[in-house]
Amino acid sequence: MDDMVKKVEKKTGVNSNDIMGVVQSLNGKDLSDEKNVRKLVRQLSRMANKPVSRKKEDMIVEMLTKKKKKIDQSTISKLM
């Protein structure tokens, strides 16, 4: 997990402590709930100061809520 967090930090410029804060805030959240996932995507977008188009947000939400695809480090990197 630390390696992945460091890679995300390097690629986005978001502090690893902030990333871990988001990860911890997900405890107990239902990530199959579209509303929760949209909130998460928007929060991460603001943190990274990278706008996410509605189309990309929809794609991310569908990927996470429908679990059509395995989500791994490669998948996450492609979304950034």
Give pLDDT tens digits along the chain (80 positions). 678 778 878 888 888 888 888 878 888 888 888 998 899 889 888 888 889 999 999 988 888 888 755 566 566 666 65
Instruction: Write down the pTM of the prediction.
Output: 0.71
Cβ pair 64, 37 in contact under 8 A: yes
Q: What is the dihedral of CA 38, 48, 53, 34, to 10 degrees?
A: -10
